[in-house]
Amino acid sequence: MPADRTPTADRRTARSAAVLLATALAAGPIAAAPPPAAAAQEGVCASASHPDAARRLDERIRQRADERGGTIAVGVSAHDGDLTCGLDPDAEFDAASVGKVVVLGALLRTAMDGDRELTAEERDLATDMITVSDNDAATELNDRLGTERVQRFLDLAGMDDTRPDPEGYVGLMRITVSDQLTLLRLLRTDNDVLGRGEREFARGLMGDVVGEQRWGVPAGAPADAEVYLKNGWLPRGDTNVWRVHSVGGFRNTPVGDYDIVVLTDGSDGMRYGVDTVESVAAEVHSGLTGQDVRGGTPPAVLRRALSDGSDGSGRA
């Protein structure tokens, strides 16, 4: 599915055109009718209190998405949810390693249900799963939790469009921009699903992601912002067609706290996908803050990230 499509009016048939011409000739000269108005393009961003910022973001997100190949979906939530953006927010993507944050949420909720702290082993596994994107740790935790506990967390979170892979592959979990924004909001704000300690633990792990995996939505973020994120990068089998995602939260910025989600598929190489994500993210940061905060991941960091290849979280 293209990232953005504007419907156009159907072409008149030759028969209809002939009838109109005959009618016009019989009636004599008439003023030309104005062309039908172009169908209105549905807004990507909206805000009751910050309409100018919403218009800026709407234009910039569309422009960047139109410049890039593959499938792109974007989500933004800022100003306590008053400003939201959703480009194809309900399109489904394979999660790649972004799905590990769902596993983390389910683990934390399961411990809460048991009125207990995480065990030392669970903390170690969760740390490896998020900070270095360790697939063995993710598989171990996902298997221990089981489908029912993961689904319970999704139900409590209201993430109705997120679907775990039937065979248990975390990276082949199906996710959407809308549900990822819901998850980021749960990690940032008071709620009945995750307690304060659980939220701080999750944000702490996502804030400690190793340097070579800190590309993506942080590109162009305000210098003093608290940043926490998770990325995913997964090719399709032995091809060079990639799914590249980045989700993250930004706290204590000049315009308050906000979240960004960029999901992509069909990228011609991992580098192309990373560039797509970062070009969109930089526009969002700039559009929200009004600052020229563009910039991508330093080349040396990105070279290390690219050398790692697939995140290994799925089969195909």
pLDDT for 76-101, tens place per residue? 999 999 999 999 999 999 999 999 99
Task: Judge whether 248 and 216 are in contact, CB under 8 Å.
Answer: yes
**pLDDT higher for 163 or 315?**
163
Task: List the domain boundaries for the chain.
Answer: 50-221+228-307
More confident residue, 253 or 18: 253
Average pLDDT, the chain: 87
Q: Does the structure show a pLDDT above 80 at 305?
A: no
- For 119, 169, 246, 268, 316, the CA distances from 153, given in Å and listed in that order, are 19, 17, 21, 34, 26
Per-residue pLDDT at 14:
39
Q: In the chain, how long is the greatest CA-to-CA distance?
A: 89
Taken as a whole, the chain contains a residue count of: 316
For the segment 163-175, the average pLDDT, to the nearest whole number, is 97
Q: How confident is the model at residue 253 (pLDDT cuts 50, 70, 90)?
A: very high
Query: Structure pTM?
Result: 0.85
Confidence of residue 21 (pLDDT cuts 50, 70, 90): very low
In the CATH hierarchy, which fold is given to the domain comprising 50-221+228-307? Beta-lactamase (3.40.710)
- pLDDT above 90: percentage of residues in the chain: 78
The pair of three-digit structure tokens given for residue 29, joined into one six-digit string: 């000269």
Please give the Cα distance from 276 to 10 (Å, whole number): 33
